[in-house]
Amino acid sequence: MSDADLALRALRLLDLTDLSDQANETGTLQLCARAVAAPGTVAAICIWPQFLKLARQTLKASPVRIATVINFPAGNGNCSLIGSDIAEAIADGADEIDLVLPWRAFLAGDAEIAREMVTEARGSCGDKTLKVILETGEYPDQAAVRAASELAIAAGADFIKTSTGKTKTSATPAAARTMLEAIKVSGRPVGLKPSGGLRTLADAKTYLDLADEIMGSAWATAKTFRFGASGLYGVLADIIAGTVPAERTDGAY
């Protein structure tokens, strides 16, 4: 596969993201425009809840899905507002919910609160897509990543996602491998979303190669695999257009 073909494959799996502290309406409109621009539409955008209505109005004629974040980025253990927050997000136009697992509580031994939150979110999402963010960069070892993956899958996640992009360590190949292995063993149609720190075509290739190796070459579609990134978009678009950019870091996520 040529670099251009690989870049187009990755672009179509991208959740084009703006979860920066500087996010605003102008930036949201620009994000929406990039999501549907040549050389091809991305899978989704991922934005703060307060910009959902604007994005829905802007993308109403587009196949691009709209994702937002809940319990983000802290991953608190309070389940009381999860249902109402998700209901409001869906009413405002969200197709997909990216929920942060209460990972600190989970790592402290309180798996029940983590299970309760994902179960509550699953019920509140209805037929909308639920992605559960594990925050794997904060875990002590791959056994913990495996246990969190299994919990999220069993409680109803449609995707398991590596990271918020707000901690020192985001997606890693080791965590992605562990998560893919948990998905395969589960036998459920659950997807993977590596997120945070993805900035080059080589980064994208690493994770696609893992998916192809563990799940099979036909598995990674927009229904089962996403990249969560902001800066990756420009790199992929440049490669598809035939220019080879210098190393770019035009997004922290």
Q: Express each pLDDT in 181-203 by its tens digit.
A: 999 999 999 999 999 999 999 99
pLDDT, position 1:
87
250 classed as catalytic = no
Q: Which of 98, 131, 158, 166 is catalytic?
A: 98
With a cut of 70, which residues of the chain have pLDDT below it?
245-253
pLDDT, position 245:
54
Q: Which of 18, 161, 166, 203 is catalytic?
A: 161
161 classed as catalytic = yes
pLDDT, position 253:
57
Q: Which of 15, 131, 193, 203 is catalytic?
A: 193
- pTM for this entry: 0.95
HEC string of the chain equals CCHHHHHHHHHCCEEEEECCCCCCHHHHHHHHHHHHCCCCCCCEEEECHHHHHHHHHHCCCCCCEEEEEECCCCCCCCCCCHHHHHHHHHHCCCCEEEEECCHHHHHCCCHHHHHHHHHHHHHHHCCCEEEEECCHHHCCCHHHHHHHHHHHHHHCCCEEECCCCCCCCCCCHHHHHHHHHHHHHHCCCCEEECECCCCCHHHHHHHHHHHHHHHCCCCCCCCCECEEECCHHHHHHHHHHCCCCCCCCCCCC
pLDDT, position 250:
47
Domains of the chain, earliest start first: 3-241 (3.20.20.70)
205 classed as catalytic = no
pLDDT, position 248:
46
